[in-house]
Every structure is written in C-alpha cells, then in structure tokens.
Amino acid sequence: MQQKCSFTTQVQYYALRKLDSTTMVGFEAKRARKITMDGIEQDFKSFVKTGYPSASRVSNCKYTYIPCFHKLATFNNKTKKVYMQDPEKGTSTYIQFEKEICALCQGPAGTVFVVCRGELVQMSCEGRTLNKCSYTGYASRVCANKDSSVIALSNLSTITLYKLSIE
C-alpha cells in the first residue's frame, strides 16, 4: 500500500462512502458533500438527510453490503469481531481479530476491507485473510474507489488516499 495523497477537509465527516470511481460522499452531522480524489469538496444540488442514522462516532462505517454474495458485514469493536450475515438464509458467522476494529467497507470481487488500528486487512466473505498491510496514524472511516485500487482512510478531518497494488 502506497500513500497517494492527503488533504484536510473543510468540515469533520462521520462517514465516507463510494459515489463513483473519482468521488466519495462525506457525511457530516447536517449534510452530505461530494469529495473528489483531488480533495475538492462541494455540496449536492439537492439533498435530504434520510436513510442513515444521526452521525455519531460509535456508528461510523460499522457496516457494508457485499452485493455479489448478498452478505452484510458488521463489526463490534469491543469484542474485535467482524460478523458476516446472510439475510436471505438467516445465517451468521464471525471472524475474530487481534486488534481493535475501526471501520470496514466493500472491497473488490466480494471481499471486505477491515481497518484495524494501524492495519488494513482484505478478507474474503468466508473470513480468510487475503492481504494485510500497515499504515500510520488512526483511521475511523474507510472508502474504496470503484475498482478498489485506491483506498481512503480518514479520521474526522484528514483523508489519506492509498494506492493498492498486489505484488
């Protein structure tokens, strides 16, 4: 993992989600804004805050959906477990981690990126660790671009972009 760039945001975002291959959506307490990979922030032309809970540090990036496997990934940072749930079958399994889990998001080809303290883990829906790399700092939010070649790790006011490459 190689740092691509870093920038300071105008406001503190409580969650980041992928919009398209070059743009993220940052959620703050009262609104959502577009953030380009160049760090340009702009308001949506029309936005109504619905479909997500009131912003709080406890609920940041605690879930993601993996559409190709129809699985919901959630985590509990106190128990250091990621839960993989199949809502259609009503089944659930968990994967135990050694480090505190900070955030997660959908990765490529039905995988999940799990952000632990100082570590980014890519795991399969079955719970196998596929890739693991270290990073410096603290991140409580994560977002990947469309092909998952760039990962954004963020705290409240700093976003750091990493370019991923498998060697």
101 vs 73, which has greater pLDDT?
101
* Interval 38-71: pLDDT, tens: 889 988 665 544 333 444 444 455 777 676 777 7
For residue 109, the 8-state DSSP code is: G
Q: What is the DSSP string of 72-95?
A: EEEEETTTTEEEEEETTTTEEEEE
Q: Whole-angstrom Cα distance, residue 26 to residue 40?
A: 12
Which pLDDT score is estimated for 87? 64
Instruction: Give bridge partners of residue 154 from the DSSP assignment.
Output: 141, 159
Q: Please give the backbone phi and psi of residue 43, each rounded to the nearest 5 degrees, phi first.
A: -75, 155
Residue type, 142: V
Q: Whole-angstrom Cα distance, residue 153 to residue 116?
A: 11
65: CB partners within 8 A, 6+ apart: 71, 72, 73, 106
Largest interatomic CA distance in the chain:
43
Reported as a pLDDT band with limits 50, 70 and 90, residue 133 is confident
Spacing of C-alpha 47 from chain mean position: 22
Assigned token pair, 112: 């999940």
Q: Residue 163: is its pLDDT beyond 80? A: yes
- pTM for the predicted model, two decimal places: 0.67
Beta strands at 15-20 and 111-116: parallel, antiparallel or unpaired = unpaired
Phi-psi region of 4 (alpha: psi -120 to 50; beta: other; left: phi over 0): alpha
Q: 128 to each of 27, 38, 51, 82, how far by Cα in Å?
A: 31, 33, 31, 12
CB 144 within 8 A of CB 111: no
Instruction: Residue 102: count other Cβ atoms within 10 Å of its Cβ.
Output: 24
Assigned token pair, 86: 């199949």
